[in-house]
Structure 1
Amino acid sequence: MFRTVLAGALAAVVMGAGMTAQAEVVSPEDQIKLRKAGYSYMSWNMGKIKAQVIDQSVAYDQGQILAAARTLDAIANSGMGALYGPGTDRQVGAQQTRVKPEMFDNFPDVAQLSAGLAAATGKLVDAAEADDRAALRTAFAEVGQSCKACHDKYRQR
């Protein structure tokens, strides 16, 4: 419960005052580049968990699962909202984005979605620490649904 409340508060701060401060330090082109890298790294870690826990196409390694879950949780709580500064709703230089412009008018909703992702990745870490494969499958699905909820609303196809 504390982790969920903390994640919600953190998301609100990041999406508010923190965004302006970070956007001044990192150029719009680099903001897009960095957030794409973060999401790619999340995808890679989701793939490791999927291969071992869901598909079982790779031997299960609790240490790898825990590292991947912690990585996902760290990124979800890293303040990536600061990488959605003004002007990053369109191509900047060589960096293209698939974010829908309307996301920039709905930061309270985005903060709520971000808090949901942080809560879901927290559950994934808890399941990985407990080495509970059933809980891992459930938590993995929750993380995926959390990602999908944001993509469905704010990602161009």
Structure 2
Amino acid sequence: MKKSFARATLGILAFSLATAASAQVKPEDQIKFRKAGYSFMSWNMGKIKANLDGSYDAAQVTAAANAIAAIANSGMGALYGPGTDKSIGDQKTRVKPELFQNMPEVGKLATNFNAATTELAKAAATGDAAAVKVAFGEVGKTCKACHDQFRMD
């Protein structure tokens, strides 16, 4: 229980500090950069899935898992600053405004996602495809948890 509370608190703190740093980046650029980060993670998730479904290349999986963990743990929360709750110009967003009104839950989801991506990178480093498959599933669950609550269809 204490560990969960500590993780949630750290997640909220990290998200808050990252959000403060967002003041240096225009809202439309924040949307553009966060979309790029999620797209790059998605591409790497696809590479891992292809390896799990086909011929397993441990080096490729490790590189993809490390990229995902690095982006997830890079302070992406800074890209959810004021004014990024809606599309701006040609930068479209599917984030629900409720995300910005529920920081404790967002912090918890972000902490879970970051932890899951870190575990995926650790599993990939072992070269064990079965362990990667489990960790990959956990990352997917954390993605879905946030999408279900805070992403428009």
Using the size of structure 1 for normalisation, the TM-score is: 0.89
**5+ residue gaps, structure 1:** none
Q: CA deviation at 1:17?
A: 3.0
Give matches, 1:1-157, under 5 Å: 11-20=11-20, 22-53=21-52, 55-56=53-54, 59-157=55-153
C-alpha separation in 2, matches of 1:33 and 1:87: 13
Contact 1:103–1:154 (Cα < 8 Å) also in 2: yes
> In the TM superposition, what whole-angstrom CA distance separates every residue of 1:75-109 from its partner, at most 9, and x where no partner exists?
11111011001110101121010000010001111
Coordinate RMSD, CA, aligned: 1.8
Q: Would the aligned equivalents of 2:41 and 2:67 in 1 still touch at CA under 8 Å?
A: yes
| Superposed displacement of residue 123, structure 1 | 1.3
Q: How many equivalent pairs are there?
A: 150
Give the SS at the match of 1:122. helix
Moved over 6 A (4+): 4-7
Asked if the contact 1:7/1:77 (under 8 Å) is kept, the reply is no
Shift of 1:63: 0.9
| Residues 102/15 of structure 1: CA separation in 2 closer, same or farther (3 Å cut) | same
8 Å CA contact 1:7, 1:119 repeated in 2: no
> In the aligned structure 1, how far is the partner of 2:95 from the partner of 2:83?
11
> Residue type matched to 1:32 in 2?
I
TM-score of the pair, normalised by structure 2: 0.91
Structure 2 gaps of 5+ residues are none
Are the equivalent residues in 2 in contact too, given 1:12–1:111 (CA < 8 A)?
yes
Structure 1 CA distance for aligned equivalents of residues 147 and 87 of structure 2: 18
SS of equivalent residue, structure 2 residue 135:
helix
